[in-house]
């Protein structure tokens, strides 16, 4: 599956629904949908995105979904069955995350708190330090577990899997994502081999 630039532009500002369900133990929080994600209605869908390959490498998921073409209902159900959910700070598609305003990220942080209160995951993993710093007004926050959770959930900030984040690899992303997954009880300490 492929899209022309013009086709993708037609998806600017399109929303992508949260992937959440009962029994969710770990909620991943992206910054906002990219245009490819909006076109396929699948979180982290851009073909070069390393989110799902890192989840697989960490042992968090058991099979790699066809995310770049848009996950099937069965693939979405498999993610939910593993106790994983996905949402975003801001639910409007842009070509780049830097198109979002600080006010949008702060409003997204407030929405996230409400989502966590309603869905009650054990652990939340924000994918991207800059969005966390701006959204929650924590300019000095560092990656890893945060001292303040969200609505009774433990909170981690983990690296963004975008290809624009070139210094991380699938292996380093897998190691970072394994930490909140272990805390949520989705993998054992020895399961991922990391």
CA distances from 14 to 32, 75, 104, 177 (A): 11, 22, 15, 27
Domain for residue 147, yes or no?
yes
pLDDT in tens, 124-144: 999 999 999 999 999 999 999
Return d(Cα 23, Cα 6) in angstroms, integer.
39
* For residue 47, pLDDT beyond 80: yes
pLDDT in tens, 78-118: 999 999 999 999 999 999 989 999 999 999 999 999 999 99
Domain for residue 153, yes or no?
yes
Structurally, the chain folds into a number of domains equal to 1
Q: Annotate 37-58 with DSSP letters as a single string.
A: HHHHT-TT-STT--HHHHHHHH
The whole domain housing 135 covers 5-183
Domain for residue 75, yes or no?
yes
| pTM, to two decimals | 0.94
Indicate which CATH number applies to the domain containing 172: 3.40.470.10
H or E stretch at 92? none
Domain for residue 84, yes or no?
yes
The three-state secondary structure class of 68 is: helix
């Amino acid at each position: 599956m492929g899209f022309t630039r013009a086709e993708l532009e037609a998806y600017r500002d399109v929303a992508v629904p949260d992937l959440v369900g009962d029994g969710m133990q770990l909620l991943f929080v992206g910054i906002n949908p990219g245009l490819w994600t909006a076109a396929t209605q699948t979180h982290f869908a851009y073909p070069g995105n390393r989110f799902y390959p890192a989840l697989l490498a960490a042992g968090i998921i058991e099979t790699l979904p066809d995310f770049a073409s848009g996950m099937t209902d069965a693939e979405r159900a498999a993610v939910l069955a593993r106790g994983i959910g996905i949402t975003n700070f801001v639910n409007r598609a842009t070509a780049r995350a830097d198109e979002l305003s600080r006010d949008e990220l702060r409003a997204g942080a407030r929405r996230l708190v409400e989502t966590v209160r309603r869905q009650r995951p054990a652990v939340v993993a924000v994918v991207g330090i800059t969005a966390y710093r701006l959204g929650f007004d924590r300019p000095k926050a560092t990656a890893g577990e945060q001292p303040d959770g969200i609505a009774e959930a433990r909170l981690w900030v983990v690296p963004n899997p975008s290809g624009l984040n070139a210094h991380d690899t699938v292996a380093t992303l897998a190691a970072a994502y394994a930490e909140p997954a272990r805390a949520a009880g989705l993998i054992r300490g020895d399961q991922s081999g990391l």
